[in-house]
């Protein structure tokens, strides 16, 4: 039996059908005897849409209030995924970042995770629950909701994998792994089987949107092996180690 942290990006939860699809996938892995902590992003382009609304109301929306607003996108995904899991007979519980024990600095819109109080998650895993945590967010010691910067759900997943000493951390996205170039632009781009933390950091700092920079830094620091793969196929993706 393994403890697996899986993160599903916005494109993997962008519709009811896709949420149903990943719920089935999660159920299968759970029934193979694994403990699962799932981290989700907001549905599709929800985060952009929410920001747009804020900027319509105010050319400079206060950052604290922006974080309150944006965190709701991931909270919606976690609740809907848990609801979908229940409908296929699984026991699941949705947590927002605060309930998941994610404590951050007070720097709104780009907070850093300072520690994770894992007792709530552990208690639910022990009861056999699939724990579904809203990515990209946390809470400060003064009870304010923060977000971790755009793309920050990856960082939530890696930080949870480190804190829980997970056996595996899978990052599900809409591409099948990391490529030598952007496969949507360069047709002869090859998928890499393995890549080092250092090379991934370089790709990310050059602007490749493979994975959140901070997530790779954390993975490197805590020696977490990451598997970047697609939620739409069973194919192996890219291992970052």
Q: Which residues bind ligand ASP (CB under 6 A)?
A: 10, 41-42, 47, 73, 135-136, 150-153
CA atoms within 13 A on the CB side of 21: 15
Angle at 142 between CA 9 and CA 41, to 5 degrees: 5
Shorter beta-carbon distance to Mg ion: residue 10 or 138: 10
Shorter beta-carbon distance to Mg ion: residue 209 or 235: 209
Shorter beta-carbon distance to ligand ASP: residue 172 or 179: 172
Least Å distance between CB 138 and Mg ion?
A: 16
Could you give the CA distance from residue 24 to residue 27 in angstroms, rounded to a whole number?
Answer: 5
Instruction: Give the residue at shortest CB distance from ligand ASP.
Output: 153
**Could you say whether residue 10 binds Mg ion (CB under 5 A)?**
yes
Shorter beta-carbon distance to Mg ion: residue 124 or 154: 154
Shorter beta-carbon distance to ligand ASP: residue 10 or 101: 10
The stretch among 3-11, 15-23, 25-33, 119-127 that binds Mg ion (CB under 5 A) is 3-11
Could you give the CA distance from residue 240 to residue 198 in angstroms, rounded to a whole number?
Answer: 9
Least Å distance between CB 150 and Mg ion?
A: 7
The stretch among 6-14, 63-71, 161-169, 221-229 that binds Mg ion (CB under 5 A) is 6-14
| Residue 73 contacts which entry, ligand ASP, Mg ion, none (Cβ below 5-8 A, type-dependent) | ligand ASP
- Mark 35-64 with x for binding to Mg ion (rule: CB under 5 A) and - for no binding: ------x-----x-----------------
Cα 137 to its chain centre, rounded Å, is 10
Q: Report whether 142 contacts 122 (CB < 8 A).
A: no
Shorter beta-carbon distance to ligand ASP: residue 86 or 110: 110
| Residue 86 contacts which entry, Mg ion, ligand ASP, none (Cβ below 5-8 A, type-dependent) | none
Neighbours of 226 (CB within 10 A): 29
| Residue 136 contacts which entry, Mg ion, ligand ASP, none (Cβ below 5-8 A, type-dependent) | ligand ASP
What residue ranges bind Mg ion (CB under 5 A)?
Answer: 10, 41, 47
């Amino acid at each position: 039996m393994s403890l697996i942290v899986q993160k599903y990006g916005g494109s993997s939860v962008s519709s009811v059908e896709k949420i149903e699809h990943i719920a089935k996938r999660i159920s299968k892995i759970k029934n193979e005897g694994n403990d699962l902590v799932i981290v989700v992003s907001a549905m599709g382009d929800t985060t952009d849409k929410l920001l747009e609304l804020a900027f319509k109301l105010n050319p400079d929306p206060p950052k604290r209030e922006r974080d309150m607003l944006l965190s709701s996108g991931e909270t919606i995904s976690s609740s809907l995924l848990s609801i979908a899991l229940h409908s296929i007979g699984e026991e699941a519980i949705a947590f927002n970042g605060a309930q998941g024990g994610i404590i951050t600095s007070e720097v709104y819109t780009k907070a850093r995770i300072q520690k994770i109080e894992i007792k709530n998650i552990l208690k639910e895993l022990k009861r056999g629950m699939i724990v579904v945590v809203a990515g990209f967010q946390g809470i400060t010691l003064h009870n304010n909701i923060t977000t971790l910067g755009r793309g920050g759900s990856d960082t939530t997943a890696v930080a949870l994998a480190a804190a829980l000493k997970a056996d595996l951390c899978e990052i599900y996205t809409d591409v099948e792994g990391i490529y030598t170039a952007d496969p949507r632009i360069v047709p002869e781009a090859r998928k890499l089987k393995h890549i080092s933390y250092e090379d991934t950091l370089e790709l990310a700092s050059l602007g490749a949107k493979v994975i959140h920079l901070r997530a790779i830094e954390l993975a490197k620091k805590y020696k977490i092996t990451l598997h970047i793969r697609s939620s739409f196929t069973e194919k192996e993706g890219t291992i970052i180690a």
